[in-house]
Amino acid sequence: MWRGSPTMTSFSRNMMKKSDIDRLEHQGCYSDDWSLVTISPKTDLGKIRNVFFRGHVSIGADAEIVNVPGGLKNVRIGNNVRINNVAKIEKSEGATFGIGTVVSVLDETGSRPVRIYPGISAQLAALAARMPEYAARTLDPIIQKHIANLPDIPEIGDSAVILDCGPIIDVRIWNGVRVEGASRLRNCSIVSNSENVGASAYVGHGTDAENCIIEDARIGGGSFLRNTYVGQGAVVDKGFTSHDSLCFSNCTMENGEACAVLAGPFTVSMHKSTLLIACQTAFLNAGSGTNMSNHMYKLGPVHWGVLERGVKSSSNSYLMHGSRIGAFSLLMGDHRNHPDSSEFPFSYVIGDARGRTVLVPGAMLRSYGIVRDEKKWQSRDRRRNLGLKNFNDRIDPGIFNPYTAGLMADAIDICARLLSDASDIDDFIVYKGMKISLNSLSKGKDLYELALCKYLNTISGGASSLAAVGDSEGEKWLDLNGQIIPESRVRKAMEAGSLEEIEEVFDKAARDRDKLERNWISGRLGRYLADRERLAVKAAEYDSILEKDRLDSIRKVSEEQAMLSLF
């Protein structure tokens, strides 16, 4: 949500003295109509040189404005602002500053649009994109009403710094923002919610952005953005191209390209020749050369997919949408048959030479890397260092939670059913277009059970503090773009009548999470709590698997280092 805004700088409407006008003209300044120009008496006119004033221009105290040959046109400039060597800065009548831009995520044809504004959360964006009928009927009118009531603030906020830039047209630059070397900015808002000047929002060299909101983020390195939102703590750099995409908290996007991507928190794509297209992600690590396609030349680019939280794609992996890859899975090879592995989290999803998908259920549960991931995300939340009062996105970086635990509990039942249905002569079965060996099904079932026991032992207070009240179906939990939340709370948010009420439902779900989780466990996973001794043994067994993998990995790295040594 809009968590506060720059204050409006007030100006005296006194006419400029002829002596002041003469001095400015002597310093290379000129205007079509000096009566429309207001400069605070607390600004040293000697610091305003080589500027063309057009239309209504207001300048606050202690400003320095030098070399704006294309002019300042219809802009309000706050206090303590520094503007040097900028082609022009102007505002058109009816400018929206990128607020209200409709971003066509997932389906490029625009059937799942998200309307962006300062303060939009990853959770609300996911709700809009994944529930398009609700969004069109209810949510979008709410968003438009919210946008219409946003405060009118200066185009250039207090303490902003703008240096060595190309044209800046219909851009709102908030308090304390630094823009340096941008090649072109048009119809954008550069938003800083930080109390520390220059701490959060930065737009750097070579940036070309249009129809964008950049909020408490860093953009630079020749990045090219169109119809894009970049959220708190995110970094876009090294020539990255983004079109009709949303990049939320702590995303890192470099070198490659995103098109129609709903990138949830901690989505990382840092390699050249990597294309993310028409998909939703969160906690994704995209390998070099990761590629996707959403256009099969029949109905246009209407296909899209979901990479559930924590997916890692190997180098040169390829995915044909529509597809859905299960949480914390490793995606390898070519996949040309629209795989859906969402029922099997923590798996290897392997594409063979013919583009068919081979699934190894639960294989990632043997990797110590999932422990490292959880610690890594907790320590790398860049929002903490930005001086922000509020975070827009709710982020739950946990590996084991009601969402993944529910999936694993279901996967155990699916594995058992598939094993019982297989004939004695079968080595493989085909399920939802994926090839699965019976041996890997059996091992996956065992790994899921061990991991569930480990999850229960990590709950605050331990498994002994949980009540085994039953083994009901339990409420379904969702991963709403980084937030683990019960489905009923999402439905409650959809009944709210304002953005504030919707976001408060998400906030309350985050505050209530521990209580909700414990209640869910007692119902959904009651069978595991009935035998505490067995649960502890299985949890310890899982710990030993991860510890063995950790020690094996350290040994292999040591061997590699020794091999590469000079002596």
Question: Per-residue confidence at 76, pLDDT binned at 50, 70, 90?
Answer: very high
Residue 68 three-state SS: strand
Helix (H) or strand (E) holding 457, with range, is: helix 438-458
Mind listing the pLDDT tens digit for each residue in 253-308? Answer: 999 999 999 999 999 999 988 999 999 999 999 999 999 998 766 666 788 999 99
Confidence of residue 456 (pLDDT cuts 50, 70, 90): very high
Residues 6 or more apart whose Cβ sits within 8 Å of residue 292: 275, 276, 277, 278, 279, 305, 318, 319, 320, 321
Give the 3-state secondary structure of residue 553.
Answer: helix
Rounded CA separation 2/174 (Å): 13
In this prediction, residue 4 carries a pLDDT of 47
**In angstroms, what CA-CA distances link 257 with 33, 275, 309, 336?**
46, 5, 20, 21
With 0-12 CB in 10 A as exposed, 13-18 as middle and 19+ as buried, what is 35? exposed
pLDDT band at 12 (very low <50, low <70, confident <90, very high): very low
What digits encode the pLDDT tens for the residues 464-506? 666 666 555 678 999 999 999 999 999 999 999 999 999 999 9
CB 262 within 8 A of CB 129: yes
**How do beta strands 357-360 and 428-431 pair?**
unpaired
H-helix or E-strand containing 335? Answer: strand 334-335
Lowest mean pLDDT among 69-78, 257-266, 352-361, 402-411: 352-361
Integer Cα distance of 19 and 13 in angstroms:
17
> What Rg value do the Cα atoms of the chain yield, rounded?
27
First to last CA, the chain: 59
Angle formed by the axes of helices 532-564 and 438-458, nearest 10°:
110
pTM of the model: 0.94
Cα–Cα distance, 53 to 427 (Å, whole number): 78
Q: Over the stretch 81-112, which tens digit does the pLDDT of each residue have?
A: 999 999 999 999 999 999 999 999 999 888 99
CA distance 567 to 553: 23
Query: How far is Cα 258 from Cα 252, in angstroms, rounded to an integer?
Result: 12
Q: How far apart are CA 501 and CA 240, in angstroms?
A: 35
**What's the CA gap between 263 and 228, in Å, rounded?**
11
Contacts of 215 (CB under 8 A, 6+ apart): 118, 119, 189, 191, 192, 193, 201, 229, 230, 231, 232, 392
Neighbours of 390 (CB within 10 A): 12
Integer Cα distance of 254 and 244 in angstroms: 16
Of the given ranges (148-157, 403-412, 458-467, 481-490), which has the lowest mean pLDDT? 458-467
What confidence score (pLDDT) does residue 462 get?
Answer: 62
Q: Does an H or E element contain 242, and which?
A: strand 241-247
Average pLDDT score over residue span 527-544: 89
Structure tokens that stand for 72 in this block = 């300042």
Ramachandran angles phi, psi of 512, nearest 5°: -90, 5
Mean pLDDT computed over 349-377:
92
| Neighbour-count burial of 93, counting CB atoms closer than 10 A to its CB (0-12 exposed, 13-18 middle, 19+ buried) | exposed
Asked if residue 202 lies in contact with residue 216, where contact means CB atoms within 8 angstroms, the answer is no
Phi, psi at residue 22, to the nearest 5°?
-60, -40
